[in-house]
Chain A
């Protein structure tokens, strides 16, 4: 699966092929103010996401702290609960460190 280029191309071409000189001038004149609005929106989304990560890690820590390590003496092995913090083994990029 990958980006749907039929859709992306159609969207892009339909717009750019029909823009007049005035459209280009209006776009150029207003892009900085639109960029400022987008930055604000991204910053707000980022704050929410940061809180979500913080809470998620906090809950994960609490669960970890509350988990019980079971010792099964009959077979002479322990059952360990895996650490739940950022798992750097999900792909090879972090292993390169």
Chain B
């Protein structure tokens, strides 16, 4: 079954306006290289305010992206218990082996590199995951992070079927 979602991407304001999301790379990316999106507009907005105001225009821009994918090509670690448990199990199996050979904990990015380097899970095009809780501004209750800060990591550009400024 094909699933279609509209999700948010925040960047520094740029001219010309972005026509496609920016590929996130580097060691700070949770799940490694990919296109990252917010599920909720408010988190996209505060990400812009907190992290995307350093460009020359001193403002951020939010985009709405449409992603379309088969549900078989999707791992939902946020709302699907089986996906969550299986994903955690594989991450920890990898981490245990990695520790055995290198004497230190791996990063989640290294787990992602491992999956991609060995062409494992080739059909998985998008993962939904929960980012670290932060940002009291999104909460109506003081200091209790009852709201999940949900993101999507897309590793196959072809499933991004539309991208427009919000």
Please report A residues at the B interface, Cβ cutoff 8 Å. Answer: 1-5, 8-9, 11-13, 15-16, 19, 21, 24-25, 27-28, 30-31, 34-35, 38-39, 42-43, 45-50, 53-54, 56-57, 85-88, 90-91, 93-94, 96-97
Contacts and interface: CB of A to CB of B under 8 A. Distances in A.
A3 B124 contact: yes
A38 B7 contact: no
Interface of B: 1, 4-8, 19-20, 23, 25, 32-34, 39-42, 64, 66, 70-76, 80, 82-83, 86, 90, 93-94, 97-98, 101-102, 110, 113-118, 120-121, 124, 155-158, 160-164, 166
Nearest to B150: A93
A97 B8 CA distance: 10
Contacts of A13: 93
Contacts of B114: 27
23 contacts: A1-B1, A2-B82, A2-B83, A3-B83, A5-B83, A12-B90, A12-B93, A15-B118, A27-B114, A30-B117, A34-B113, A35-B33, A35-B113, A50-B19, A86-B66, A86-B162, A87-B6, A90-B6, A90-B66, A91-B4, A93-B41, A94-B41, A96-B42
A25 to B, nearest CB: 8
